[in-house]
Structure 1
Amino acid sequence: MGGGSNGRWSTLGDISALEKKAKETLQSGKRNVFISFATEDINEVNLLRAQAKNEKSDIEFNDHSVREPYNSERAEYIKQKIAERIARTSVCVVYLSDNTAQSDWVRWEVDKSVELGKKVIAVHAKDGYHGPRPEWITRHNIKIVPWAGLSSEL
Structure 2
Amino acid sequence: MARKTFISYKYSEARLLRDKIVESLDDDVKYYRGETSISPNLSDQSTSYIKNRLKDMIYSTSVTIVIISPNMKQSNWIDWEIEYSLKQVKRGDRRSGVNGVLGVVMKYNGGYEWLRPESNRADGHTTVQTNNQFLYEIIHKNRFNETHPTYICPDCKTVDPWSGSYISLVNEEAFLANPNYYIENAYSKSQNLLKYSLFRKKTI
The alignment's TM-score, normalised by the length of structure 2, stands at: 0.53
Conserved in 1, the CA contact under 8 Å of 2:104 and 2:169? yes
TM-aligned CA distance change 1:82 to 1:129, over 3 Å: farther
Give the distance between the partners of 2:15 and 2:85, measured in 1 at CA.
20
Gaps of 5+ in 1: 1-28
The one-letter code matched in structure 1 to 2:86 is V
Moved runs in structure 1, 4+ residues, more than 3 A?
none
With over 3 angstroms needed to count, the CA separation of the structure-2 counterparts of 1:36 and 1:140, relative to structure 1, is same
Q: What CA deviation, in whole Å up to 9, does each residue of 1:85-143 have, x standing for no partner?
A: 10111000001101323312111111110123111111113532624233221233321
Which residue matches 1:135?
Answer: 137
1:129–1:151 CA distance, 2 compared to 1 (3 A): farther
Is 1:92 matched up with 2:64? yes
**Where do residues 36-51 of structure 1 align in structure 2 (5 Å cutoff)?**
36-40=8-12, 41-51=14-24
Is 1:146 paired with 2:175? no
Q: Are the counterparts in 1 of residues 2 and 180 from structure 2 also a CA contact under 8 Å?
A: no
Aligned partner letter, 1:64: R
Is residue 2:32 matched to residue 1:63? Answer: yes
Number of residue pairs matched by the alignment: 121
What's the offset of the Cα at 1:48? 1.4
Partner letter of residue 55 of structure 2? A
CA contact (8 A) 1:32 1:89 kept: yes
Alignment of 1:119 onto 2:100: yes
Would the alpha carbon gap of residues 63 and 129 (structure 1) be closer, same or farther in structure 2, given more than 3 Å must change? Answer: farther
Name the SS of the counterpart of 1:123 in structure 2.
strand
Contact kept, 8 Å, 1:34 with 1:89, in 2: the verdict is: yes
Q: Which runs of 5+ in 2 are unaligned?
A: 89-97, 116-133, 144-166, 184-204
Separation of aligned partners in 2, 1:86 and 1:121: 14
Return the letter of the residue paired with 2:169: I
Aligned position for 2:157: none
- State the match for 1:104 in structure 2: 76
Confirm or deny: 8 A CA contact 1:37 1:100 kept in the other structure.
yes
What letter is aligned with 1:133?
A: L
**Aligned-partner Cα distance in 2 for 1:66–1:125:** 18
Give the TM-score normalised by structure 1: 0.68
Q: Take 1:136 and 1:95, find their aligned partners in 2: how far apart are those partners?
A: 14
